[in-house]
Chains A and B, each alone.
Chain A
Amino acid sequence: GNSVTQMEGPVTLSEEAFLTINCTYTATGYPSLFWYVQYPGEGLQLLLKATKADDKGSNKGFEATYRKETTSFHLEKGSVQVSDSAVYFCALSDRGGGGADGLTFGKGTHLIIQP
């Protein structure tokens, strides 16, 4: 079956540090890949996505590249801010699964940015 593995953290960084959150996946079909962010007390918001190999998703200074050869979709940001403190989820949606839109999520990475 499908699965997503990501570092769980917490990951603590200083403001303006470089961020990498690793994500690897296993899928039976041709998945689309997503990063979602959850702020305290809120639902999930889509941060970025990539729908095919070598695509790069980017938003708000975050980016991730769909690497089919390494089955990875690592999240990066060059300079983090305190406001980036949240839980980040890597997820996939497998088009090979009959077109349904159910997402498979990683466990989530709690990111803490200190001023």
Chain B
Amino acid sequence: KAGVTQTPRYLIKTRGQQVTLSCSPISGHRSVSWYQQTPGQGLQFLFEYFSETQRNKGNFPGRFSGRQFSNSRSEMNVSTLELGDSALYLCASSPGGGSGGGNEQFFGPGTRLTVL
């Protein structure tokens, strides 16, 4: 099985712009989660989508949004970019479903976003 893929791998934007990141989960996985990784804050949970519905959300401003398509692929959008949004954005997929909790999450390589 192919792993989790994320595009693009690297992105440079300027303040005020918006950006869309894409994630393709492992085939058959229905849950996709997004995380932000920065040196100062570490890994922080953004949101999780399951069957095209946002099922869980972290503590991030409304500038961060996402969606999931019927094929389980997911996109994350950040509007009005700020310097502090520079980070590695990681996507993870899992089978999802009712078991929750113990499902292993498989991570993609991440998208490195730099905001100038």
Contact = CB atoms under 8 A, between A and B. Distances in A.
Interface of A: 30-32, 34, 36, 42-46, 49, 51, 89, 91, 93-95, 97-108
Contacts of B109: 42-43
Given A46-B106, A94-B101, A101 B94 contact: yes
A34 B102 CA distance: 9
11 contacts: A42-B109, A43-B108, A43-B109, A51-B101, A91-B43, A99-B101, A101-B50, A101-B100, A102-B47, A108-B42, A108-B43
Contacts of B105: 46, 101, 103
A23 to B, nearest CB: 13
Contacts of A95: 100-102
A93 B42 contact: no
Contact-residue bracket for chain B = 20 to 34
B45 A93 contact: no
Interface in B75-108: 90, 92, 94, 96, 98-108
Contacts of A103: 33, 35, 43, 45, 92, 105
When A and B form their complex, which 6 residue pairs have the shortest distance between CB atoms, in order from nearest? A95-B101, A99-B100, A100-B56, A105-B43, A51-B102, A32-B102
